[in-house]
Chain A
Amino acid sequence: MNKKLTSGLKFLKKHLFIVIVTLQVLFLVVMASLNYVIEEFGDVIHLETEPYDPRDVFYGDYINLSYTINEIHPSYWFGSENVKPNEVIYVLLKPDERDIYRVKAASDKKLEAQGDEVVISGRYRHKDYEQVHRVSYGMNRYYIEEGTGEEYEQINSKMIVTVAVSPWGQKKILDVEEME
């Protein structure tokens, strides 16, 4: 009996290891394939970045991006007044005549998108002295190939960032280019 139990435990121990390694492989595979799924099924939107100081934009091998949609004016805010920092909020975006997405509404409750509108989630940061709500989307870094920094360092105007938003809310930057 005891021998059986020990061999059973040994069997389990060995297989648990295989299960864990397989799960790790699966996780990486799923993570990578999600990329293609988002590109295929996600909504593609264009966002405008704020003008910036060119010295600040480039850090090592990534560019720092500050979007116009990071700021939400009080007239667009439809959520509760005492949102805590880091709380998840929803931002409804609508394209303007140049197909750049602008904030239409924002709230700490879920919002419905119609037509070409898109809802993206972000995290609440704080309200500044002008009562503007500051939001972060976790997309403020764009990793670039090493050695291509100068290309971006020269840019001194606004930039257009193309983002894919998956049906389950995941966001992915597709491209960053200078605004014409």
Chain B
Amino acid sequence: MKRMWIQSESEKWVEEGIIDSTQRDKIVNRYSQKGEATFIFFFSAILIGLACLSFVAANWQVIPNLWRIFLIIFFMIGFYGFGSYLEEKGRSGYSVFCYIVALAVFGAGIFLTGQMYHYSMNSVFPFIIWGLAAFLLYLSRPYLFILLSGLAIVTIGEIYGLANMHAFDWWLFALFMIGYGTIVFIKKSEVLSWLFAIAFIIQLIGYSIEQLDQYYWMIIFSLVLYVVGTHFQVRQISRPFTWAPLLFMFGFTIVQSFIFSSPYRESIEAHFMFYFIWIVLASLVILFTLQNAKGISLTRLALFLPVFAAGHFAELVSFIVLYVFAIGLLLEGYQQIDKRKVHLGTSAFLISTLLVYIQVAWDFLDKSLFFLIGGIILFVIGFALERNHGKDV
């Protein structure tokens, strides 16, 4: 798509004498055509992997055990070998596809062998081996999709362990943090960092609820991610690591506000360690934020406040927190002339307003007055932004 556009557009540039034809060729070659195909191959790899899995499972009964093992190994080596052959021929899209099928066959092989011989499975050990295989495969064949498959295996394994065995496996988590985490910091890919941050949050939500019995520990884990995000100044890491926890905490605060509005809610007494760790992490955020001279973004810290500690006022405090975040973000966007932040801030503001409207203002406040205030605040911010924009032009 991009390449075609560049091709047609650059013709005009050559005609107009902006660039010469050698420069044009160089520019066009920067936009190779392979990128999109890889994406499609990845999904077809997943589908074929699943098809293999279900086909083998369905016809499993008629094949003797030793033949089954042989079949699994044959398919696995076949796909790895074919992938390697294609890679040498320069067809990396196809080869990634083969590697992922081979990896799927390996995982299926572990589970099917266990099932076939009636081994007892009382841990997520198969997922550790599978996730490790994906990780090592990535080291020898550094394709993003192999790494993403590995991230998915590790995350699903952890959730599977929590749901079925009520256990959080620290070996699997170590593989995730040390193995995959290291790659995130070496590669500095934004997609990878986003997925790593999301996988981190998902696993620790499970850990907080299932193992710690207290959901509020999620705040600490999100804050850890945020601290890392504010410390590292590489955009590809800092953006996902700050925004994934922020978006999560925004949603989490909304859910909390619903819990707080329930008359049956139990009051939460958090462990003193929680407050201690919270203060340490929050201080780090403040320190790193001020170091980077981004004082205005300190308002975001409001989202991580342990709102539940406010007792009867918890609901009100959670609304205030949401507004502080939304308005802070709008001002930040206005100051830095960052359209994305303004849009996000506006959305956050509207969602917060809607939430307050549903929960509180419905009964107590004149509806039209309430919307009027919200509208005026947004208008003032928008007006200020426009004027500032005008000055720059």
Residues in A lying within 8 Å of B, measured CB to CB: 13-14, 16-17, 20-21, 23-25, 27-29, 31-32, 34-35, 85-86, 122-123, 125, 136-139, 142-143, 145-147, 170-174
Contacts and interface: CB of A to CB of B under 8 A. Distances in A.
A61 B133 CA distance: 29
B124 to A, nearest CB: 11
25 contacts: A14-B140, A16-B136, A16-B140, A17-B80, A17-B137, A17-B140, A20-B133, A20-B137, A21-B76, A21-B80, A25-B77, A27-B129, A28-B73, A28-B76, A29-B69, A31-B113, A32-B113, A86-B166, A86-B167, A125-B166, A138-B122, A145-B61, A173-B118, A173-B120, A174-B118
A97 B49 CA distance: 51
B72 to A, nearest CB: 6
Given A24-B133, A145-B61, A170-B120, A31 B110 contact: yes
Contacts of B106: 24, 28
B139 interface: yes
The range of chain B's interface size is 35 or more
Given A24-B106, A28-B69, A31-B110, A143 B140 contact: no
A145 B66 CA distance: 16
A75 to B, nearest CB: 26
Contacts of B166: 85-86, 125
Most chain B beta carbons < 10 A, residue from A29, A143, A170: A143
A24 B130 CA distance: 9
A143 B76 contact: no
A28 B77 CA distance: 12
Nearest to B136: A20
Contact of B114 (A31, A86, A174): A31
Nearest to A17: B140
Contacts of A32: 65-66, 69, 113, 117
Given A32-B113, A136-B165, 9 more contacts: A17-B84, A17-B137, A17-B140, A24-B106, A35-B117, A123-B122, A123-B165, A137-B122, A143-B115
A16 B140 CA distance: 6
A133 B80 CA distance: 48
A175 B122 CA distance: 19
A138 B120 contact: yes
A171 B129 contact: no
Contact of A20 (B58, B123, B140): B140
A139 B120 contact: yes
B165 A171 contact: no
A17 B133 CA distance: 11
Given A20-B133, A25-B77, A27-B129, A172 B115 contact: no
Interface in B250-273: none
B73 A29 contact: yes
Contacts of A137: 120, 122
Contacts of B80: 17, 21
A171 to B, nearest CB: 4
Contacts of A122: 122
B239 interface: no
A120 to B, nearest CB: 9
Contacts of B123: 138
A140 to B, nearest CB: 9
Nearest to B117: A35
A21 B117 contact: no
Most chain A beta carbons < 10 A, residue from B72, B76, B102, B136: B136
B141 A17 contact: yes
B120 A171 contact: yes
